[in-house]
């Protein structure tokens, strides 16, 4: 079989590769000096995201430096709350803030849609699509409804997602309406990215691990089913990667029930268990611990080899179990890529 001109896209469609394609979550970001220089010039993260030319440049930086098999759109999952009518800003050293917080129906009903927030992202996609090497797969993304809802309800990131979980118990009808609105906007947003030029999309459910099995079915699996079905109806050729971080033992149900084309596995999951437990031949993405990448050396080599061995008999995209850390040495990324590509 001749090599695919786009190994990552072929893998997402079920084709095993002799050398697994690789990209890294948050590969366009703070560990790169070229990113830090551009962000300093633009003045802040949100300014960078809303400047399509700059965001396209950031998306392309790791492709130029490392030759990754996939380029992930540089943006943020909180673009969707902006489009739904919340204000978004970033506090220095503290992260994103959203207002007004959605903890009552009157607040949700008062939000004024702002679809123009999505336009700069579409322009970023068009610029990147025109500049990518022919062999590189272009990945779009959005946050999954549960994860986005946790930010909209708390107004910021929350380790235990207590505010969102409390609201889901206290007023499940309000939570359902919020999740439905997020899902509708996410479908529009991802279809817009696809129309502008992305070739596959990933749904990030970064906070799915905080939910009980019943809540996971209601707030993670059900809206994912809805989003995937809508995307498949309008763009059946575009693979969808689902990444329910922290799902653990709920991961097989997610993979079976949602209709996704590939599943992302975080670093807490034993890759051998994942291979044995997930549907046969389902493409898997993951799952190097970002801290093992920081450690480097033989620890990195051994961890990489263990992951490769676990997934050798199924389509596999090599990735991290979550986003790359800002203090990751560039030479460790280079060592990882050399080992994957057979030169170590």
Taking the CA atoms of 42, 126, 69 and 244 in sequence, report the sign of the dihedral they define: positive
DSSP 213: H
C-alpha 200/C-alpha 141 separation (Å) is 8
User: Regarding beta strands 137-143 and 70-72, do their DSSP bridges make them parallel or antiparallel, or are they unpaired?
Assistant: parallel
Query: Which SS3 state, helix, strand or coil, does residue 269 take?
Result: coil
Q: Which member of 31, 35, 122, 151 is catalytic?
A: 151
C-alpha 151/C-alpha 156 separation (Å) is 5
Burial of residue 312 (CB within 10 Å: 0-12, 13-18, 19+) is exposed
Q: Which member of 30, 126, 306, 339 is catalytic?
A: 30
C-alpha 243/C-alpha 342 separation (Å) is 28
C-alpha 165/C-alpha 217 separation (Å) is 14
Q: Which member of 39, 97, 165, 181 is catalytic?
A: 39
Q: Is 39 a catalytic residue?
A: yes
Taking the CA atoms of 230, 79, 143 and 315 in sequence, report the sign of the dihedral they define: positive
174 Cβ contact list (under 8 Å, min separation 6): 104, 105, 108, 167
Can you give 154-218 as a three-state secondary structure string? HCCCCCCCHHHHHHHHHCHHHHHHHHHHHHHHHHHHHHHHHHHCCCEEEEEECCHHHCCHHHHHH
Q: Is 169 a catalytic residue?
A: no
Q: Which two tokens stand for residue 313?
A: 């008999």
Q: Is 26 a catalytic residue?
A: yes
Question: Which residues have a catalytic role annotated?
Answer: 26, 30, 39, 76, 151
């Amino acid at each position: 079989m001749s090599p695919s001109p786009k190994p990552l896209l072929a893998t997402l469609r079920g084709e095993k590769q002799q050398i697994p394609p690789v990209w890294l979550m948050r590969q366009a970001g703070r560990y790169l000096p070229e990113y830090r220089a551009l962000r300093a010039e633009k003045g802040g993260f949100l300014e960078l995201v809303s400047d399509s030319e700059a965001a396209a440049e950031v998306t392309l930086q790791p492709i130029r430096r490392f030759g990754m098999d996939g380029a992930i759109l540089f943006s943020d999952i909180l673009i969707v709350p902006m489009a739904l009518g919340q204000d978004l800003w970033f506090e220095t050293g503290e992260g994103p803030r959203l207002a007004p917080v959605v903890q009552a129906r009157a607040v949700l009903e008062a939000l004024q849609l702002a679809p123009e927030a999505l336009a700069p992202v579409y322009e970023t996609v068009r610029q990147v699509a025109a500049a990518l090497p022919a062999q590189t797969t272009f990945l779009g993304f959005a946050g999954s409804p549960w994860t986005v809802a946790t930010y909209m309800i708390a107004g910021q990131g929350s380790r235990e997602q207590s505010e969102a979980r409390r609201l889901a118990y206290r007023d499940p009808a309000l939570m359902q309406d919020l999740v439905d609105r997020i899902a509708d906007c996410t479908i529009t947003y991802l279809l817009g990215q696809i129309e502008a030029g992305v070739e596959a999309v990933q749904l990030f459910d970064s906070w799915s691990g905080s939910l009980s099995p019943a809540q996971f079915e209601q707030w993670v699996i059900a809206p994912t089913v809805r989003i995937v079905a809508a995307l498949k109806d309008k763009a059946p050729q575009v693979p969808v990667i689902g990444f329910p971080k922290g799902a653990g033992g709920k991961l097989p149900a997610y993979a079976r029930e949602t209709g996704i084309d590939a599943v992302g596995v975080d670093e807490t999951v034993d890759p051998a268990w994942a291979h044995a437990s997930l549907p046969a031949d389902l493409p898997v993405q993951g799952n190097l611990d970002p801290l093992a990448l920081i450690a480097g050396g033989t620890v990195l080599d051994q961890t990489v080899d263990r992951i490769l061995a676990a997934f050798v008999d199924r389509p596999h995209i090599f990735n991290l179990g979550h986003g790359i850390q800002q203090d990751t040495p560039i030479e460790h990324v280079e060592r990882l890529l050399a080992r994957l590509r057979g030169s170590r």
